[in-house]
Structure 1
């Protein structure tokens, strides 16, 4: 009886993993057929690099012993990771709007597989993009080693997963596409710019520091910056990792609750 139950459990797990892979493959194919989206994302990151890493570098000079361009570069990559991750939930909303979601839900697999497949596709794409951007770190004055590259790519992969799940949670809570888009737009700018991505959190007043500590992106930026630049950060690395892990667990629990069985 125990062997039979274990075999059945393994079979269900394989079916669920296969469903997640199929949905992720579908989303990746859809993204590859829209090169204009990838181009617009590249233009966005180029804009941030030119304005903050290049434009402000001559005016500000350095943060401590680190050139300003090097200091903000981890945060600029985090902006791209978080903005695309949160926005990935809109694909779920569009699938629901056009009836694709209803067709997918008739498959005999757990409903959580659908949003998880989208998380895998979205987080995987953003992680690859962040790895490409990391390769240009030396141009920004960041001393890049193989170990730092791998560790930073891991940080951004974790951040991409966390914020992709958050984006899917929003899409399951807010059912109207237009309302979801407006909510994402409303939430993005405070989250991006109140995370210390383009300034030093050590220089902010106490009331703003409290706001930054309730911003989940703050921990992603702080972890990536410490990984790439070394030295002290806003919090110890273990605290940043713990905060991101806790946010991911809560977001996954909400996603599981909202997605049904």
Structure 2
């Protein structure tokens, strides 16, 4: 006698739950991949961290005696510190865009696209992994806050870390938006020189934005990195009033609300990632 087993139909809710688990598993796998790369490339990570450290000690220490404290409101190393935090998170965040192109060149991206997940999920996982690794490296540089004349205040460090997460997300999203339509890493490197480096120098990380000519100042007002640096610098001033630096981003003669700067930074990252996801959703 044959016994027939009756299988219950899969409900739409169960199907959506299974689909969501697949998507989250893909995001987790891409984040784990970036963390493994970070842990396995210690020499490369150390060299990336060495760059802003040298700027902080050599440039900051050398120019501290030449730039009067009265023009910045603080010592030059203290003024430079938010810019160095931005430089620290910028490099690993940009590397996400380079990896997207090299994955496409090597054929690894084609294998990823065979996974039963949305293309935008793969991009989201890459962005999350880049944001996390960039923030981790930025957190290491926070250990030099004392060198920049800042106290090791736990609340201050947590707020700076939150600001770096926002900045890392936005830079990673911008890097993906630049890289998603490219096929060669050389083209991406050229674009970096034309786009990302000017954004860094017009961020107010090295010198006050008020010292710039009017038309350059207008460009800096549209620079997302300027809002990121200003967010970090004003966070320091909020917790340590005697370390309040010269004004950065100004609207109508005054700084925009601190929360609004954070919202604008987040919105810029979301827009860049959404545009990149739209481009990435097209068939290869």
- Tell me if both proteins adopt one fold, taking TM over 0.5 as the criterion: yes
The residue aligned with 2:126 is 118
Q: Is the 8 A contact 2:199 2:225 kept in 1?
A: yes
- State the distance in 1 between where 2:269 and 2:277 align: 12
1:246 pairs with 2:253: no
Distance 1:21 1:103 in 2: 17
Distance in 1 of aligned mates of 2:231 and 2:67: 23
SS in 2 for 1:66: coil
Which residue number corresponds to residue 174 of structure 1? 182
Equivalent of 1:256, from 263, 266, 277? Answer: 277
Shift of residue 64, structure 1, vs aligned partner:
4.3
After TM superposition, the structure 1 = structure 2 runs for residues 149-160 of structure 1, keeping only pairs within 5 Å, are 149-160=157-168
Q: For 1:205 and 1:113, how far apart are their aligned partners in 2?
A: 42
Q: 2:79: which partner in 1?
A: 71
Counterpart of 1:36 in structure 2 is 43
| Residue equivalent to 1:187 | 195
8 Å CA contact 2:208, 2:248 repeated in 1: no
- Unmatched 5+ stretches in structure 2: 1-9, 239-243, 250-254
Q: Count how many residue pairs are aligned between Structure 1 and Structure 2.
A: 259
Alpha-carbon offset, residue 83 of structure 1: 3.1
Q: Determine which structure has the larger helix proportion and give its number.
A: 1
Q: Secondary structure at the match of 1:56?
A: helix
For structure 1, which runs of at least 5 residues remain unmatched after alignment?
Answer: none
Question: What is the aligned partner in structure 1 of residue 220 from structure 2?
Answer: 212
Displacement, 1:29?
1.6
Structure 2 Cα separation of the partners of residues 75 and 21 of structure 1: 31
TM-score where L is the length of structure 1: 0.92
Distance 1:248 1:188, change over 3 A: closer
**2:6 corresponds to:** none
Q: Determine if contact 2:60/2:80 at 8 Å carries over to the other structure.
A: yes
Instruction: Find the partner of 2:31 among 11, 24, 28.
Output: 24
Higher-Rg structure is 2
- Aligned pair partner of 1:237 in 239, 253, 258: 258
CA distance in 1, matches of 2:60, 2:18: 51
Deviates further, 131-140 or 148-157: 131-140
What SS does structure 2 have at the residue aligned with 1:135? helix
1:258 CA drift (Å): 1.5
Provide, for residues 115-136 of structure 1, a one-character-per-residue CA deviation record: whole Å limited to 9, x for no partner: 2222222211111111121121
The separation in 1 between residues aligned to 2:153 and 2:33, in whole angstroms, is 35
**Higher deviation after alignment, 250-259 or 156-165:** 250-259
**8 A Cα contact 2:176 2:273, kept in partner:** no
- Give yes or no for contact 1:82–1:217 (8 Å, CA) kept in 2: no
Asked whether 1:7 is paired with 2:28, we answer no
Separation in 2 of the partners of 1:170 and 1:64?
A: 34
Pairwise CA distance, 1:233: 4.6
Question: Aligned partners of 2:196, 2:276: CA distance in 1, in Å?
Answer: 20
